[in-house]
A and B are shown apart, each in its own frame.
Chain A
Amino acid sequence: MSEFLAMGGYAAFVWPSYGIGVGGVALLALVSLRQWRAAKAELARLEAAGLSRRARLEDRR
């Protein structure tokens, strides 16, 4: 196990590479998910306040 972790003496280069690769993509996915949730919540808030494009058309009738 410790031999595996040592990566033939290159642990300082191999492990950060995997950390950056996996961490970078995971962080981007999480941020994107949070932005999607925030946008959905904002739209729901507007629609709950009766502010949709359809509601506006109905106002005019």
Chain B
Amino acid sequence: MRLSGALLPWLAAAALVVCAAGLVWGLVFAPRDWQQGDTVRIMYVHVPAAWWAMGGYMSLAVASFVSLVWRHPLADVAAVAIAPVGAVFTAICLATGSLWGKPMWGTWWVWDARLTSVLVLFFLYLGHIALTNAFDEPERAARPAAILALIGAVNVPIIKFSVDWWNTLHQPASVTRFDAPAVHVDILWPLLISGLGFGLAFAAIVLLRMRTVLIERRVRAILAARGLEGAGVSRPVPAA
């Protein structure tokens, strides 16, 4: 964690540069789609947000597993830090998907498998945040929150393969396929760069939030220790 303090400014700067490169490329230089016109540019925001909404949930599930099995305290801190970031990325994915759906499908929203399973992902993140904040001592929330995260992990492959298993308005995967991507390099490159940028931003914000959670827990530990000395009642701390 000490290393993360030195790493963080570089990670944030890299995220900024790579995001800017990917998004400007997508917005200005990438070709418009022969069918979808300029709305295809929404993809350079929508798809990276979706990738990291799901990738974030996978990392939340891994952190929860480590927290449950090995009781590593940092894993619990990581899970607490990841959930809000994942929720924001999922919200971006849903909002931009809606803005893309209206002109291309003629509707903001349909209750089909892909869209509904991503909405479920959003609620899983919100549930994790709510559960984490429902306990006075955050350490006691670790177990139930980790169990929720692991049960919810079933949803991630459902999102991924929803476009193959059910009829949906959403198009099937065109980049993350087992054979070669079905996208021209002029579109693929800015998409991958934007994806990398969003991933770096995700990692930077999670690291920052982990540092915050660690400091907050130290503050709580100090206050609790003082509180015990004061006959179980936490005394108001004099302002310095």
Interface residues of A (CB under 8 A from B): 4, 7-10, 13-14, 16-18, 20-22, 24-25, 28-29, 32-33, 35-36, 39-40, 42-46, 48-49, 51-53, 56
Contacts and interface: CB of A to CB of B under 8 A. Distances in A.
A55 to B, nearest CB: 9
B160 interface: no
Interface of B: 12, 19, 23, 27-28, 32, 37-39, 41-42, 45-46, 49, 84-85, 88-89, 91-92, 95-96, 99-100, 102-103, 198, 201, 204-205, 208-209, 211-212, 215-216, 218-219, 221-223, 225-226, 229, 237-240
Contact of B84 (A18, A28, A42): A28
A32 B23 CA distance: 23
B219 A42 contact: yes
5 contacts: A28-B85, A29-B208, A42-B216, A51-B222, A53-B225
Contacts of B218: 43
B211 A10 contact: no
A32 B45 contact: no
Contacts, number: 119
Contact of A39 (B28, B215, B223, B237): B215
A25 B212 contact: no
Contacts of B89: 25
Contacts of A33: 208
A8 B36 CA distance: 10
